[in-house]
Amino acid sequence: MKILFAGAGAMGARFGWMLSQSGNEVVFADNWKEHVDAINEQGLKIIVDKKDLGNYKIKATSPKAVEGSFDVIFVFTKAMQLDQMMQDILHVIHPKTRIICLLNGLGNVEVIEKYIPKSQIFLGVTVWSSGLGGPGVVDATGSGAIELQQMDKTDDPFNADMLDTFNRAGLGAVYSDDVLQSVWHKVGLNCVLNSYCTLIDCNIAQFGDYKDSEVLVDYVVDEVVAVGHAEGVNVLKDVIVSKIHAVYDPTKAGLHYPSLYQDMAKHRLTEIDYLNGAIARLGKKHGISTPACDLITHMIHAKESVVGAK
């Protein structure tokens, strides 16, 4: 398959490498010029669990300069950059292109469907994690899986072929019957781990090792569950908590520093408004008090201000 990664940061680059290694034609589109240049000049360096797997030649360019058409496009931007990315790559999306959205947070489908029909949109969640060790360098840990669902279901046989393609690459993809529930469960996990690890300055395992981490987990998860129910989604607290506990393991994602932490460390604006901030906004919409998410959102914004995030 011809697959475009609209955003070739930590996650996009890791997935793109995996799919290229299983025989697919992969192109990276990213606005970070130094990253694009490094990939084109030296190949994409892959480090997984501290093992250097070498450099791999994969075509990289800017979003507006992408040419041709693609069977599948993964959008791997930050949530606040999604709208601009859709505008930049619209010229290579044809009526049968599938858009895969695995982005953190709430509201991403509403952005994408401004440009294409829901039948072309696959919303999903992933527990894969990744990081960058500089331009052109993926520095990742652990393994993961993907859960996907077409937003406007069709019986197109291509969908099964697409899932098979992902699994031949080792992505662990499954089709979901209720991806919105899974998205909210992932939002709950991210509202806890992304935010607390950034504020406490720790990785996931270190947060889990804190003796009162469960108190902090409950503050946030209880608010996510209440707001999710008000939105008509069957959000389950025990599922969110079990997912959080599962990634404390250093052999899973415990040694990982979440994406919001990585953005803050690089003085970049974070996705907090699409995580705890979104819960706080929806709480106000439904008259539900969300003091923990309100406070966390303000604290992350304060930290962005202190470090001069842009």
Contact 3, 16 (CB under 8 A): yes
Cβ partners under 8 Å of residue 205, min gap 6: 248, 249, 250, 254, 255
Catalytic residue among 45, 186, 243, 252: 186
Give backbone dihedrals phi and psi of 75, rounded to 5 degrees, phi first.
-95, 115
CA 303 to chain centre: 22
Which of 270, 271, 259, 256 shows the shortest CA–CA distance to 307?
270
Residue carrying the six token digits 């990585």: 262
Dihedral sign, CA of 7, 247, 45, 1? negative
Q: How far is CA 258 from CA 32, 73, 181, 190, in A?
A: 20, 24, 22, 8
What amino acid occupies position 287? G
Q: What H or E segment, with its residue span, contains residue 51? A: strand 51-56
* Cβ–Cβ under 8 Å, residues 74 and 100: yes
Q: Are 107 and 183 in contact (CB under 8 A)?
A: no
Q: Specify whether 186 is catalytic.
A: yes
Q: Could you list the active site residues?
A: 186
